[in-house]
Structure 1
């Protein structure tokens, strides 16, 4: 386990150095377009290959999610002047956070007085009254997160007895493992960004497990 943690630290040091190269050199010296895309190809290769050095499921899954899924696609958009990294943030720490973390900074909307009253407004999304009633009755989010972390720990411990469990029960445990793990990781990623960098972030989710239809689940 000690060697795995060392590999994990090495991978993220290399990722931070790659993103620093993108911020200090690529964004300032290379214009957006195909030339910038070519200059980012070594970074793409490293982001895809570095998670393969990790053998732990949780560390490898998290690193793959942050680097391959988030970082790779955000840098791909960045190479053509699109996405959340365009224009590049002035601070390298902001650049790295936006590139790798599943966060989206809340955009300040113009005041209503400046909007043209003649413009047609988009119809509001239909709100599920049952979901609203259930959400209002929920306890504090921090308490809810602690309960979910406890449930996740129980789910992980139950894997030791999977030889005695029905296959359908194991499938349910895997679904709970993925759902709770993703929700807790997303919360833990957004909390430091709000506290350290004082970002005003958009909500990542609103209790999707309480949705009563696929339309409410996908938003």
Structure 2
């Protein structure tokens, strides 16, 4: 199968971010982490518009992230990307930000940061039709990469996890990011691994 949900791997391939992932970092005021990620994050005009309209309290943080260079902002103007964007609107309930992010990720062969299951399924289906490999990263995958690169400790990541669950209606099926890191995570935190 040419497309799949993949675990994170640091690299130079840019990441096109959907609103769903960005808003998780904006709500806990940690866009600085996106800026330290080994891959460059690209935000499209449709996503910026969704943040402005649907999350006005986080929009100032979004603008500050742009000014700090944590993320780059681009318009969707390439004819191929516009075509895919419009095709994704037919008979579907994806938002404009999701459609734009999927279209650009497929066209440029960038990774796609997105959390919405329905949008992920649609993106993977489109990648299969186009015989294009599409790397999907969810919020938890980005956090795992940040831990692996030393930008974030497991304790800090777990603090964000608790904050998301308690205050921002974003819950993961884990109680600690340690569960996603494997047995070497205890050693990375300076603890002796359980035996």
Tell me the TM-score normalized by structure 2: 0.25
More strand by share: 2
More helix by share: 1
Report which structure shows greater RCO (CA 8 Å, sep ≥6). Answer: 2
Tell me the TM-score normalized by structure 1: 0.23
